[in-house]
């Protein structure tokens, strides 16, 4: 070897430093590799698999809805939805894609960009639906053909909800819409996805669990340019179950047509008609007028339309059969009567001699609509004497006659279902008010007065009911003492047509009342019609019922258009016994409620609900004259 | 400019220094074995990665044969260069310099483009990439420059940089940012080994650092994005970060033992771009796992340390600096290429020695290894019996 001093060009320490540096860098590389491959190998394997295999949900079609005879009420039409898979949208092109889509799906580009960004955070491998309303076929084709302009955009066939009769069933069926954030958060466990459609209200909401199909999955292999190579696995979705309702479409249409006609003729502004089978609580028809067109929500309701509906004092978005409360008027005399009978304050022979059309107590004047003379129970009820029922409710301080009293009235009223929701299978049911002295103390901090009892006795004052509550109370008397839970669902059928669930009648409670008292009410209710108080000329059916007129303000004044400014609502609650009016065999009970019937206040002032009831029931039973028949 | 006197006995005219059988025994066998194993490794990976390449439509047998042909040519070049006294390389350094500039200029004028960069041209059906040879030639030129001058003078370093400026500029123009950076890496590595004063080197690095903003301004937008994406590839997973993320997924999914040769999925589905060259390490790590990578690293370390030993034993300064420059050239390329695949380095188009497919890279490296063996074979100055 040469002498070290000759080799000044060699710098051993620098060579050693380079050698160490090389080894050091390889150590760093190895540590990093160890971390990537050995420590996190499984994670990256999964990512590689996710690269290769995409798993997309396939939504099952929603079940359809039939009436009791199999007539279609809600169906699915084919349509197209636009979805975006965030992982496939380059961040740099997101805004561009969003603004392109904005034009096609008629939404703000900010909104779309936000939807994509949100989903990117949530789960970029799951598509998010960006079309609120279904898109037309030509737009769907455009998106597919110019795919390079729309990275990550998918067009999927989407079953589109369609409601056959729109407003006729809107208060019952409700509508579906794209799931929102809160609904998604609440139902994530149940397998809901952001592209899901969900029942928003009505039966669509109530029976979401039956109607919704189960998710299927499709796994396919694809390459980096997002071309689909082949389907690896397919778990087909299961379509949702179909609902069969208790609704009888024919009766629904009869009632609706009659009530619509009344509104059109300006006899009243709003109306409710409900029919049920008193023997099992099945709702045969439920009409609330005016209503909204639920198809509008499927197509994406315009803000102008929404504003109009929200601003309308007639509240078309509310199902007035269950969602609003009204004074029941004289129909409530059944409660007063049954309370008096059950407490022993009255019998069928209790006579009140109505010698004046006004009863003055402590300086307050309580009117009757005429001087009736002596009335027993049946005739007091049939003629709807107010003073008779003041007496049965609150007693008469002059004659010393005892009344049932407010607590008993509240007790039996609640037993008949007032003051609490009936439990019908619809959202948005109101409870109504069944007042008693404690209630008044709590609400107004005032003691109960005899006047309160008198007003409650004739269904005025604090008492407020939903039309359904009133119908259900009469139905329980008509069937001999059973309060059923009203229901709209008859059965649930699988997509193969097999029945998967049958709704059995559900008894809310039995009336703790004597059969003879219930029979007495039925007899009295029939007499309402037979004496012509509820005037049914040329009647072909043994209809029994009770009229009601609830005042809600001064009537008689004329407004600028020459109409009576304020007035009253009319009720007629009826049932149709099979053989004899006192038998508990009625298979149909019906309530008609007309709102502001004083609009066309005539000089004769018949309760319009009575004639409507006669026409509807006779047409339904097929016994009407051609002339009187419903259209 | 002061020229360091060269001791005559050590610098006997290279024309008289003929190869002999005895010299052949002085070949660095460890380096030789590592070289052969790495070339073999490269052939195996070439087969696997070509099969995984979704865009490859040719005949796999032909492709393997092509690889073998490159290896044979490379080994022949290595042998020839080894047989020639390395001093000749120094003697012809000015010619190498001119050849480098010429090749780079020609490729700029008439070369062909891939992915927006003009880096190669075609000779009889073979892709020829001058910048690969330029790296080796510039090592020779710099080694000669340093060997003939006083390393203590800052003028030596400045002169070296001036020499470097032209080829770096031409490569940068292609544009090939990675190779330009390799040139700078080589320069500083060699200057360090040649004994340049640390404060001078530091001053140059510091001066260079102040020019970084200007240099960044000269970069194209995509280059900047690529340079910075490795810091957080997930900030733009669909854009600049995409390649890096897919590379990480490929590497990570290889786990300890790999998916097996030709069994990788990232490349066949098009997730791993340029898997035969820039991202070849990701393909290797996916197929053969941590173990495969560790074997590769071991071979590299053996190769680099043997080369350093050769630098240490060289009979003359030119040999030492040449060997050191080759170490710097290979090490820098390995670190940048591997670092890029595992997101420790920015993405640049630098091939991985031996493993990346391409004749120019392999043959130019063989040329360099031949020079190493030549230095090794002539290391001793024992009197001839």
Torsion of CA B25, B28, B31, B32, to 10 degrees: -10
What pLDDT score does B275 carry? 67
Q: In the block, which residue shows the tokens 């737009």?
A: A139
In whole angstroms, what is the distance from residue A218 CA to residue A194 CA? 17
Mean per-residue pLDDT, A479-493: 95
pLDDT tens readout for residues A288-327: 999 999 988 887 788 888 899 988 888 999 999 999 999 9
| Residue B145 touches partner A, C-beta closer than 8 Å | no
Please judge whether A52 and B269 are an interchain contact, meaning their C-beta atoms are less than 8 angstroms apart. Answer: yes
Please, is A471 exposed, middle or buried when counting C-beta atoms within 10 Å of its C-beta (0-12, 13-18, 19+)? buried
Q: Is A400 exposed, middle or buried (0-12, 13-18, 19+ CB in 10 A)?
A: exposed
Question: B157: which 2 tokens?
Answer: 């370093």
Flag whether pLDDT at A5 surpasses 80: no
| Nearest-CA distance B146 → chain A (Å) | 10
Task: Please say if the pLDDT value at position A280 is more than 60.
Answer: yes
Q: Give the lowest-confidence range in A365-369, A503-507, B379-383.
A: B379-383
Read off the DSSP letter of residue A520.
Answer: H
Residue B85 to residue B82: CA distance in whole angstroms: 7
Asked if A618 contacts A538 with a C-beta cutoff of 8 angstroms, the reply is: no
- Cβ burial A497-522 (10 Å sphere, 16+ → b, else e): eeeeeebeeeebeebebeeebbbbbb
The C-alpha angle with vertex A161 and arms to A159 and A166, in degrees rounded to 5, equals 160
For residue A215, the distance in angstroms to the closest alpha carbon of chain B comes to: 28
CA–CA separation, B351 and B348 (whole Å): 9
User: B225 versus B22: which is more confidently predicted?
Assistant: B225
Which pLDDT score, from 0 to 100, does residue A137 have? 81
* B274: DSSP letter: T
Closest to A19 measured CA to CA, from B322, B370, B300: B300
Instruction: Say whether A6 and B316 touch across the interface (CB within 8 A).
Output: no
List pLDDT tens digits, range B254-295: 999 998 888 888 877 777 777 677 889 999 999 999 999 999
Instruction: For residue B15, name the pLDDT band (cuts at 50, 70, 90).
Output: very low
**Cα separation of B74 and B354, whole Å?**
11
Q: Which residues of B241-255 are buried (b: 16+ CB within 10 A; e: fewer)?
A: bbbbbbbbbbbbbbb
Where b means 16+ CB within 10 Å and e means fewer, A568-586 reads bbbbbbbbbbeeebbebbb
CB contact under 8 A, A91 and B239: yes
Nearest CA in chain B to A12: B312
B311 touches chain A (CB under 8 A): yes
The closest of B283, B286, B356 to B127, measured between CA atoms, is B356
Residue with tokens 């004329």: A558
Mean pLDDT across A588-604: 75
A3 → chain B, closest CA residue: B381
Please report, for residues A9, A248, A262, B110, B120, the alpha-carbon distance to residue A490 in angstroms, rounded to integers and kept in the order given.
Answer: 101, 11, 31, 83, 79
In this structure, the strands spanning A65-66 and A242-245 are parallel
pLDDT of residue A193: 82
Query: Residue A32 pLDDT more than 90?
Result: yes
Is any Cβ of chain A less than 8 angstroms from the Cβ of B195?
A: yes
The per-residue pLDDT for A208 is: 94
Provide the pLDDT confidence category of residue B384 given band limits of 50, 70 and 90.
very low
B123 burial via Cβ count (<10 Å: 0-12, 13-18, 19+): exposed
DSSP one-letter code for A593: E
Cα dihedral across residues A522, A524, A529, A534: positive or negative:
negative
Q: Express each pLDDT in A517-571 by its tens digit.
A: 999 999 999 999 999 888 888 888 999 999 998 876 654 445 555 555 557 789 9
User: In whole angstroms, what is the distance from residue A588 CA to residue A534 CA?
Assistant: 18
Q: Of the given ranges (A166-175, B175-184, B280-289), which has the lowest mean pLDDT?
A: B175-184
CB B103 within 8 A of CB B134: yes
Q: How far is B124 from chain A (nearest CA, A)?
A: 34
Checking if the pLDDT of B135 tops 80, the result is yes
**What are B354-381's pLDDT values in tens digits?**
999 888 999 999 999 999 999 998 886 5
Round to whole Å and give the CA distance between B112 and B132: 15
Higher pLDDT residue, B172 or A132? Answer: B172
What's the rounded Cα separation, in Å, for the pair A564 and A601?
7
Q: Is B360 on the interface with A (CB under 8 A)?
A: no
Task: Select the more confidently predicted residue: B223 or A594.
Answer: A594
Top residue of B54, B237, B253, B328 to mutate, by most chain A CBs within 10 Å, is B253
Contacts of B254 in chain A (CB under 8 A): 37, 41
B270 contact partners, CB below 8 Å, separation of at least 6:
A223, A224, A225, B54
**pLDDT exceeds cutoff 80 at B14:** no
pLDDT band at A111 (very low <50, low <70, confident <90, very high): confident
Mean pLDDT, residues B315-344: 93
pLDDT of residue A562: 56
pLDDT (mean) for B12-19: 49
pTM of the model: 0.65
pLDDT at B142 over 80: yes
pLDDT score, position A604: 45
Distance from CA of A43 to the nearest CA of B (A): 8
* Mean pLDDT computed over A155-163: 84
Residue A318 has phi, psi (to 5 degrees) of -100, 135
Closest approach of B331 to chain A, Cα-based (Å): 7
| Residue-level pLDDT at B263 | 85
Is a pLDDT exceeding 50 seen at residue A1? no
Average pLDDT over residues A64-71: 94
Whether residue A33 and residue B300 make contact (CB cut-off 8 A), yes or no, is no
Q: Which residues contact B207 (CB under 8 A, 6 or more apart)?
A: none
Give me chain B's average pLDDT, please. Answer: 85
The C-alpha torsion from A607 through A323 and A421 to A543, rounded to 10°, is 20
Tokens found for residue B163: 């020499």
What ipTM was reported for this prediction?
0.92
Which of B90, B222, B238 is the best residue to mutate to test the A interface, defined by the most A CB atoms within 10 Å of its own CB? B238
> Does the pLDDT value for residue A617 go beyond 90?
yes
Measure CB to CB from residue A12 to each of B249, B312, B321 and give the nearest one: B312
Task: Provide φ and ψ at A539, rounded to 5°.
Answer: -65, 135
Residue A470 burial by CB count (10 A; 0-12/13-18/19+): exposed, middle or buried? buried
Q: How many helices (H) and strands (E) does chain A have?
A: 21, 23
Q: Which two tokens stand for residue A230?
A: 């082949």
Q: What is the DSSP string of A384-451?
A: T-HHHHHHHHH-BTTTTB----HHHHHHHHHHTTTTS----SSS-----B---HHHHHHHHS----HH
Residue with structure tokens 């952001």? A194
Residue of A nearest to B239 (CA): A90
The residue behind tokens 């030596």 is B156
What are the chain A neighbours of B193 within 8 Å (beta carbons)? 11, 14-15, 18
pLDDT of residue B8: 45
Classified as helix, coil or strand, A603 is coil
Q: Which residues contact B369 (CB under 8 A, 6 or more apart)?
A: B31, B35, B78, B326
d(CA B75, CA A568): 110
Cα–Cα distance, B223 to B241 (Å, whole number): 12
Question: What span, in angstroms and rounded, lies between the C-alpha atoms of A231 and A219?
Answer: 6
Could you report the per-residue pLDDT of A215-234, keeping only the tens digit for each? Answer: 888 887 777 766 677 787 88
Chain A residues touching residue B300 (CB < 8 angstroms) = 26
Which pLDDT tens digit goes with each residue over B86-134?
999 999 999 999 999 999 998 888 777 766 666 777 776 677 888 899 9
Tell me whether residues A37 and B339 touch, CB distance under 8 A: no
B248–chain A Cβ distance below 8 A for any pair:
yes
Structure tokens at A396: 């008469």
**pLDDT of A407:** 95
- Mean of all residue pLDDT scores within chain A: 87
Q: Pull the structure tokens for residue B281.
A: 């390490």
Between A305 and A335, name the one with better pLDDT.
Answer: A335
Residues of chain A with Cβ-Cβ distance to B251 below 8 Å are 33, 36-37, 44
Contacts of B291 (CB under 8 A, 6+ apart): B256, B257, B258
Helix (H) or strand (E) run with residue A309 in it = helix A303-311
Q: Give just the sign of the alpha carbon dihedral A202, A207, A209, A214.
A: negative
Distance CA A350, CA A348 (A): 6
Closest C-alpha to A6, from B145, B8, B192 = B8
Q: What is the reported pLDDT for A135? A: 82
A to B CB pairs, distance under 8 Å: 145
Q: Which of residues 165-194 of B touch A (CB under 8 A)?
A: 189, 192-194
Site from B252, B292, B320, B323 to mutate, A interface, most A CB atoms within 10 angstroms: B252
Terminal alpha carbon distance of chain A: 124
Q: Is B253 on the interface with A (CB under 8 A)?
A: yes
pLDDT (average), residues A372-376: 92
- Work out the pLDDT band at A599, boundaries 50, 70, 90: low
């Amino acid at each position: 070897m040469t002498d070290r001093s000759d080799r000044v060009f060699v710098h051993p320490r620098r060579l050693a430093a380079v050698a160490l540096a090389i080894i050091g860098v390889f150590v760093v590389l190895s540590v990093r590799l160890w971390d990537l491959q050995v420590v996190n190998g499984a994670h990256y394997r999964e990512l590689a698999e996710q690269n290769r295999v995409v798993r997309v949900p396939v939504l099952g079609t929603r079940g359809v809805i039939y009436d009791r005879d199999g007539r279609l009420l809600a169906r699915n039409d084919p349509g197209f939805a636009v979805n975006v898979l965030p992982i496939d949208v380059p961040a740099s092109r997101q805004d561009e894609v969003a603004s392109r889509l904005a034009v096609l799906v008629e939404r703000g580009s900010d909104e779309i960009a936000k939807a994509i960004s949100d989903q990117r955070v949530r789960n970029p491998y799951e598509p998010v639906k960006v079309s609120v309303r279904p898109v037309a076929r030509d737009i769907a084709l455009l998106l597919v053909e110019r795919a390079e302009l729309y990275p990550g955009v998918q067009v999927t066939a989407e079953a589109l909800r369609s409601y056959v009769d729109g407003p006729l069933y809107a208060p019952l069926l409700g509508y579906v819409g794209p799931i929102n954030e809160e609904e998604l958060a609440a139902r994530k466990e149940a397998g809901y996805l952001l592209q899901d459609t969900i029942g928003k209200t009505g039966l669509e909401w109530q029976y979401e669990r039956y109607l919704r199909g189960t998710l299927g999955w499709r796994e396919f292999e694809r390459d980096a340019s997002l071309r689909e190579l082949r389907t690896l696995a397919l778990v087909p979705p299961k379509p949702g179950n179909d609902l069969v309702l208790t609704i009888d479409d024919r009766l629904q249409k009869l009632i609706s047509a009659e009530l619509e006609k009344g509104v059109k003729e300006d006899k009243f502004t709003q109306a409710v008609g409900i029919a049920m089978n008193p023997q099992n609580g099945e709702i045969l028809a439920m009409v609330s007028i005016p209503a909204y067109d639920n198809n509008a929500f499927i197509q994406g309701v315009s803000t102008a339309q929404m504003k109009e509906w929200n601003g309308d004092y007639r509240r078309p978005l509310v199902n007035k059969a269950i969602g609003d409360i009204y004074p029941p008027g004289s129909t409530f005399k059944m409660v007063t009567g049954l309370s008096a009978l059950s407490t022993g304050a009255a019998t069928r022979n209790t006579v009140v001699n109505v010698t004046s059309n006004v009863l003055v107590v402590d300086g307050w004047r309580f009117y009757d609509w005429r001087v009736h003379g002596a009335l027993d129970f049946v005739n007091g009820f049939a003629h709807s004497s107010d003073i008779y029922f003041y007496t049965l409710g609150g007693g008469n301080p002059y004659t010393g006659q005892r009344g049932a009293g407010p607590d008993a009235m509240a007790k039996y009223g609640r037993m008949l279902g007032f003051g609490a929701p009936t439990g019908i299978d619809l959202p948005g049911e109101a409870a109504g008010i069944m007042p008693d002295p404690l209630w008044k103390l709590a609400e107004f901090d005032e003691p109960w007065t005899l006047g309160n009892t008198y007003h409650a006795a004739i269904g005025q004052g604090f008492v407020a009911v939903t039309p359904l509550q009133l119908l259900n109370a009469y139905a329980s008397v008509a069937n001999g003492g059973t309060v059923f839970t009203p229901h709209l669902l008859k059965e649930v059928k699988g997509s193969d047509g097999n029945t998967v669930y049958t709704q059995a009648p559900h008894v809310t409670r039995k009336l703790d009342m004597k059969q003879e008292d219930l029979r007495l009410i039925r007899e009295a209710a029939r007499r309402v019609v037979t004496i012509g108080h509820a005037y049914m000329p040329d009647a072909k059916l043994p209809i029994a019922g009770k009229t009601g007129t609830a005042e809600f303000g001064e009537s008689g004044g004329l407004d600028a258009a020459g109409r009576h400014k304020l007035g009253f609502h009319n009720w007629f609650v009826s049932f149709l016994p099979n053989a004899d009016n006192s038998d508990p065999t009625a298979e149909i009970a019906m309530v008609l409620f007309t709102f502001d019937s004083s609009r066309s206040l005539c000089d004769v002032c018949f309760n319009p609900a009575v004639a409507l009831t006669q026409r509807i029931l006779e047409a339904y039973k097929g016994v009407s004259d051609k002339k009187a028949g419903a259209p | 400019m002061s020229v360091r006197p060269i001791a005559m006995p050590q610098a006997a005219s290279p024309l008289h220094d003929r190869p002999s059988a005895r010299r052949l025994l002085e070949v660095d066998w460890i380096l030789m074995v590592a070289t052969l194993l790495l070339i073999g490794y490269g052939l195996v990976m070439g087969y696997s990665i070509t099969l995984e390449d979704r865009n490859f439509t040719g005949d796999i047998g032909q492709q393997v044969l092509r690889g073998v042909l490159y290896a044979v040519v490379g080994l022949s070049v290595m042998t020839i260069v080894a047989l020639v006294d390395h001093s000749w390389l120094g003697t012809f350094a000015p010619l190498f310099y001119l050849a480098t500039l010429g090749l780079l200029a020609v490729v700029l004028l008439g070369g062909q483009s891939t992915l927006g960069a003009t880096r190669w041209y075609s000779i009889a059906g073979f892709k020829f990439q001058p910048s690969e040879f330029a790296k080796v030639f510039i090592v020779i030129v710099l080694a000669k420059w340093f060997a003939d001058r006083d390393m203590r003078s800052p003028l030596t370093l400045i002169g070296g940089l001036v020499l470097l400026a032209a080829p770096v500029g031409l490569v940068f123009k292609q544009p090939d940012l990675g190779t330009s950076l390799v040139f700078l890496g080589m320069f500083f590595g060699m200057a360090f080994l040649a004994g340049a004063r640390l404060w001078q080197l530091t001053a140059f690095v510091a001066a260079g650092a102040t020019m970084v903003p200007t240099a960044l301004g000269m970069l194209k937008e995509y280059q900047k994005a690529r340079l910075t994406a490795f810091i957080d590839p997930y900030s733009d997973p669909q854009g600049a970060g995409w390649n890096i993320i897919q590379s990480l997924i490929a590497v990570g999914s290889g786990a300890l033992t790999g998916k097996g040769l030709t069994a990788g999925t990232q490349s066949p589905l098009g997730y791993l771009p340029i898997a035969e060259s820039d991202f070849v390490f990701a393909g290797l790590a996916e197929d053969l796992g941590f173990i495969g990578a560790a074997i590769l690293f071991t071979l590299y370390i053996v190769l680099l340390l043997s080369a350093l030993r050769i630098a240490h034993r060289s009979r003359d300064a030119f040999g030492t600096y040449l060997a050191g420059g080759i170490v710097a050239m290979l090490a820098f390329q390995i670190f940048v290429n591997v670092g890029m695949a595992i997101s420790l380095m920015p993405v640049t188009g630098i091939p991985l020695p031996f493993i990346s497919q391409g004749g120019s890279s392999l043959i130019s490296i063989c040329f360099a290894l031949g020079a190493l063996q030549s230095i090794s074979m002539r290391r001793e100055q024992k009197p001839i019996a």
